[in-house]
Amino acid sequence: MKHAARDDWRNEAEETLNRQRSRHAAMRYIIEAWEEAVYDGLHPDSVATAALFAALSEMVSAYGEETVAEMAENLPARIRKGEFTLTGALQ
């Protein structure tokens, strides 16, 4: 039984690592597209608005309006906690 628990833990750890790698890869794609759009002359605010709209639209398609609305209700607290602040994380 101990081997099964260890295998379960290992599988869970590998899945978590794969999800993190996937998120990091996706973020790299988004940042590259963002930088290209700004380089081509688009204002960062316009890119941000389009990115938010695209992300929310995709999430609504995948999870439904109510689920995404509930998730969005938590955004103010997460923003205030600094979850989306990159300057501190980059220093």
Closest by CA position to 26, among listed 64, 54, 60, 63 = 54
pTM (global) more than 0.75: no
What is the C-alpha to C-alpha distance for residues 76 and 86, in angstroms, rounded to an integer? 16
Residue-wise pLDDT tens digits, 49-91: 999 999 999 999 999 999 999 999 999 999 999 998 987 544 4
Residue 1 predicted with pLDDT over 70: no
Contact 56, 64 (CB under 8 A): no
Residue with tokens 């890119």: 47
What is the C-alpha to C-alpha distance for residues 3 and 5, in angstroms, rounded to an integer? 5
**DSSP of 20-41:** HHHHHHHHHHHHHHHHHHHHTT
The mean of the pLDDT values for the chain is 90
24, two tokens: 């990091």
Residue with tokens 């688009």: 42
pLDDT recorded at residue 76: 96
